[in-house]
Amino acid sequence: MADDITADILIIGTGVAGAIAGSKLAEKGLSVAFLETGKRIDRFDAVDKFWNAAIKVPESAYPNDDTAPHPLSHKIEDYYQQKGPELFRSTYVKVVGGTTWHWLGTTLRNVPSDFKTQSLYGQAVDWPIDYDDLEPFYLAAEQEIGVAGNSSIDLGSPRSGDYPMGEIPMSYLDKKFAAALEESKFEVRATPQGRNSTFHADRPECCGNASCIPVCPIQAKYDATVHVAQAEAAGATVYDQTTATKLNLGQDGKIISVDFRRADGSTGIASGKVFVVAAHGIETPRLLLNSAQEGAENGIANSSDQVGRNLMDHPSRLSWAEAAEPVWPYRGPLSTSGIENLRDGDFRKNHAAFRIEIGNDGHSWPTGAPQSTVEDLAKQGLRGDELDAAIKDKTSRHIRLASLVEQSPDAKNRVTLDPEKRDANGMPLPVINYDYSDYTRAGLKAAEEAHDEVFEMLGAKNVQHSPDIQGAGHIIGTVRMGSNPQVSVVDADLRSFDHSNLFLLGSGVFPTSATANPTLTIAALSLRAVDPIASSVE
C-alpha cells in the first residue's frame, strides 16, 4: 500500500514510556515512527471540556472516541470486563502524550529494598536489576521530566546528584501536619514532583490552579507531549489516530511488521527493524495477546504464559476527617507532602509497605466537597450568613490522607481477551480478574491504623475511612521483567525473551509494585533501554 509506514524503530504509544525513549533514539539520528491510537489534544479545549463536564472525573477532559476507547472512572465496567472478585479501578487515557496529561506528578524513586523483597523479606520476587543499576537513570529521568524537590532530604533513595529545581513549597496544611507529628514516627516531607517550581524548560512555574488532575492549564506540570515534541523536532514521525492491532512474526522469530487501523477505517502495515510496545499495563498485553498466530500460538512474547499476569496497582486506603482548627485546603497542587518513612522495614516480612499522601484537596476525592458540603449544610436548614459561616468553617478544616499500599504480584490477577466483545477497531475488550492477597490486605489495615494515629495527633474529629479500596491509577505488572524466561516476559534491558527485536516499555514490566508512584521508574527504565534498542537496529 502506498501509504504504509516504514521506519527503523516503530514505537506503539506516545505516553512517557514511549516518548522519552523515542526522543532519545531520534536524537541519535535513528529513524523513528510512533503509532498512536489517540488524538492530539489542544490544552485550552481540554480545560474547557473539564470545566463544562457535569461529572468531573480524571478522564473528563479527554475524548473517549470509539477508535481509541479507554476506561472511565465512573463507568469502569463499560470497558473492563471485570470478572472479580475485586474491581480493578485504575484508568488511563488514550491521547497523544498518554496518561501523564492527567497524572498528579508525584515523582518518587523506589527505595533500594524494593528491588529485592524476596531476598530480604521472603516476599514476591526480586527484580533482575538493583537500585544502583537504575540510579544514574533516575537522575537523568528527573532532569528529563523536570522534577522539583529538596535534594538534601533523605527519602530512603540515595542520590548522586540534585533535582533540577528546588522543591514546590509545602502548603500551610502540610506545615500543620508536620508540626503536629514532629515528635512522632511519622516524618512529613515535601514530595518531589514533576511540576515547575520556577520557570524551567520553556514552561512556567506552578501557580496553584489546583486542577493538576485532570489538566494543568499552563503546563507547569510535565506531560509527555514535552518528549513527543522533542522526538518530532529530532525527525520522528507521529501517526496519531492510528491503532496497532497486531504484531506480525517473521520466519526467524523476529517481529517484521504491525497491522494498524486508522480512525477513518482504513488499514495498513508498518514495517521496521525494531519494535517497541509502550501502550501501558492493560493495552500492551491486550495487543500481544491479540497477536496470536502460527509460531506464537499464545500471543506474541508469551511462551512463558506470563503476558497479562501479575496485574498490580497501589490499592489505596482513603481516609478523611475535620481538623481541630482551619488548615485552608483546596489550594495549590493536589498534594505537596507525604510520609515516606514507612516504605521499608523488617515488617515487610509480614505485611505490605505503604506511603501516606497528604492531600491539599480537602474532601473532594471522597465526598465531592466543597459542593457536597454546601448541599449538606443547606439540607440542615442553614441559610444566608449562617450558611456562609458554616461553609467557611467546615471546608477550612477538611483534611484527607491516602495510603498507597504495595500489592503482591499474583499470577491469577490478569488481563485476558473477551471472546465476544470487540471495540470499533475489531480488538477484543480486556477481561480483568483481580484480587488482593492477605499480605496486601494486612498492609491496608496497617495504613488505616496509621491514619487513625495521625488524625488523633492532629486532634481531628469525624474520622472516616472509605469502605472501598481505591485504585491509584498505577497499572503495574502484566509483562514483567526477570532473569528467567520461564516466568517472565522481558529481560533486564526490556527485550522480549521470545523475539530479539521487540522491546516492552512501561510499568507493565515492573516485577513488583513497591510503593513509589511508578512514572519516574518508567522513565528511568525507558532511558536505560535506549542503548539496547539503538544497538538492535542493524
Q: Which residue among the candidates 70, 227, 474, 499 is catalytic per the annotation? A: 474
C-alpha–C-alpha distance, residues 490 and 505, integer Å: 10
221 lies in the site for ligand SF4, by CB under 6 A: yes
Angle of helix 16-27 relative to helix 131-145, nearest 10 degrees, comes to: 90
Tell which residue, 275, 278, 272, has the closest CA to residue 8: 272
300 lies in the site for ligand FAD, by CB under 6 A: no
Q: How far is CA 493 from CA 101, 502, 528, in A?
A: 27, 11, 7
Decide if 231 contacts 32 (C-beta within 8 A). yes
**Among residues 394 and 474, whose Cβ is nearest to ligand FAD?**
474
Question: In this structure, what C-alpha cell is assigned to residue 147?
Answer: 522534577
Find the binder of ligand SF4 among 16, 68, 147, 212 (CB under 6 A).
212
Phi, psi for residue 69 in degrees, rounded to 5: -75, 140
Minimum distance of ligand SF4 from residue 236's CB (angstroms)? 27
**Among residues 91 and 373, whose Cβ is nearest to ligand FAD?**
91
**Among residues 512 and 517, whose Cβ is nearest to ligand FAD?**
517
Find the binder of ligand SF4 among 125, 220, 300, 490 (CB under 6 A).
220
CA 48 to centroid of chain Cα atoms: 24
Minimum distance of ligand FAD from residue 501's CB (angstroms)? 18
Produce one character per residue of 288-301: b if its CB has 16 or more CB atoms within 10 Å, e if not.
bbbbeeeebeebbb
170 lies in the site for ligand SF4, by CB under 6 A: no
Find the binder of ligand SF4 among 208, 253, 370, 485 (CB under 6 A).
208
215 lies in the site for ligand FAD, by CB under 6 A: no
Q: Which amino acid is at 467?
A: P
Across the beta sheet with 188-190, what order do the strands follow? 188-190, 335-339, 354-359, 398-405, 316-322, 461-465
194 lies in the site for ligand SF4, by CB under 6 A: no
Tell which residue, 94, 126, 91, 96, has the closest CA to residue 112: 126
Site of grid cell 490552579:
209
Find the binder of ligand SF4 among 209, 271, 437, 500 (CB under 6 A).
209
Pairing of strands 188-190, 335-339: antiparallel
333 lies in the site for ligand SF4, by CB under 6 A: yes
Sequence-ordered list of residues with C-beta below 8 angstroms from that of 201, at least 6 positions apart, any chain? 146, 226
**Among residues 218 and 442, whose Cβ is nearest to ligand SF4?**
218
Quick one: which H or E segment has residue 49?
helix 43-52
Residue 301: contacted member of ligand FAD, ligand SF4, none (CB under 5 to 8 Å, by partner type): none
Find the binder of ligand SF4 among 111, 206, 258, 352 (CB under 6 A).
206
Which residues inside 230-249 make contact with ligand FAD, applying CB under 6 A? Answer: 243-244
134 lies in the site for ligand FAD, by CB under 6 A: no
Q: Does the annotation count 474 as an active-site position?
A: yes
Minimum distance of ligand SF4 from residue 74's CB (angstroms)? 21
What track of x and - describes contact with ligand FAD for positions 85 through 124 (by CB under 6 A)? ------xx-x---xxx-xxxxx------------------
Q: Which residues bind ligand FAD (CB under 6 A)?
A: 12-18, 35-38, 58, 91-92, 94, 98-100, 102-106, 213, 243-244, 278-280, 283, 287, 473-474, 506-507, 517-519, 522
